[in-house]
Structure 1
Amino acid sequence: MARVQLDLPEKLAWATSLNIRIYDTNFAGHLAHDRVVSLLHESRARLFKEKGFSELDVNGHGIILTDLVVEYKAEAFFGDQIRVEIGAGDFSAKGCDLYYRMIHTDGPINGKIVCNAKTGLVFMDYSTRTVSNIPEVFKSWF
């Protein structure tokens, strides 16, 4: 079976730290796949907030995700500390790809990659429900 393979930039522009909570784990006791997506979303929302915006309002335009790819590399468990790095690339007039790297930051597995991921996004004017151009301020973050 063919496997998804992501090529992430070596350096990603922004990062945040998170802890794996008990409800982030599944029946096997490790980080659940659906919670990975939630943690990526949490990280992306933190990026927007730190920049003074939200996912629904970057100079009047919000984002809408077009796709998601996650490449799992290692387990994470309750109490683990992780860092999520975010960068961007493949810009077009209307959207781009956001790249994510989730990395262990504690214990004997410090530095081990939990997953790599990518979300495609486009900007949208939610008042007219139409796709819009990427705000220049968003591009400046990367």
Structure 2
Amino acid sequence: MARIIIDIPDKLVFETSLSVRISDINFAGHLAHDAILTLTHECRARFFHSHGWTEINVEGKGIVVSDVAIVYKSEAFFPDDLQMRLYVDQISKKSFDMIYVITHKQDGKEIARAKTAIVFFDYSERKASSIPEVFLKVIQ
């Protein structure tokens, strides 16, 4: 079976700290797979907010997530403190990839890597749109 490989790009665009919540824990007692996706969304929302944007308003354009991949490296438990690093890759006219590296804040041990493909979207016209120039300046 082919394994998913998520390489870490050079361009770090954002970093934030999050904690594992009790609701992030699954029946096995560790960080659940669906919680990883929630953590990436929180990181992405904080990135947008740090620039005065929202996920539905960057110069009047929003985003949609077109695909997701997660690679697990180690466990995390409640109430671990995590470090989230956000990178960008594969920038095109209308889309790019966001790469998330999640580590334990205390010792730097990697927990997971995730990738979300992001497409800029014009919600009024209900179609993909070009990445706004102001956004490109931040991620390039």
The interval holding the TM-score normalised by the smaller chain is: over 0.9
1:1-142 equivalences in 2 (<5 Å): 1-10=1-10, 12-106=12-106, 110-142=107-139
C-alpha distance in structure 2 between counterparts of 1:127 and 1:14, whole Å: 29
Q: Report how far residue 74 of structure 1 moved.
A: 0.6
Number of equivalenced pairs = 139
Q: What amino acid maps onto 2:46 in structure 1?
A: R
Q: Deviations over 1:114-133 (max 9, x none)?
A: 11111111111101101110
Q: What amino acid maps onto 2:40 in structure 1?
A: L
C-alpha distance in structure 2 between counterparts of 1:10 and 1:94, whole Å: 21
Listed as ranges, the gaps of 5+ residues in structure 2 are none
C-alpha distance in structure 2 between counterparts of 1:122 and 1:11, whole Å: 19
Q: What amino acid maps onto 1:126 in structure 2?
A: Y
C-alpha distance in structure 1 between counterparts of 2:130 and 2:11, whole Å: 26
Q: Deviations over 1:6-30 (max 9, x none)?
A: 1112552210000101111001110
Q: Deviations over 1:31-86 (max 9, x none)?
A: 00001100100110011011100000000000011110101001000010001111
Query: Quick one: percent identity of the two aligned structures?
Result: 47
Contact 2:90 2:97 in 1 (8 A): yes
Q: Alpha carbons of 1:89 and 1:11: their partners in 2 closer, same or farther (altered >3 Å)? A: closer
Q: What amino acid maps onto 2:128 in structure 1?
A: V
Q: What amino acid maps onto 2:82 in structure 1?
A: I
* SS, match of residue 13 in structure 1: strand
TM-score normalised according to structure 2 size: 0.95
Q: Alpha carbons of 1:140 and 1:11: their partners in 2 closer, same or farther (altered >3 Å)? A: closer
Q: What amino acid maps onto 2:115 in structure 1?
A: K
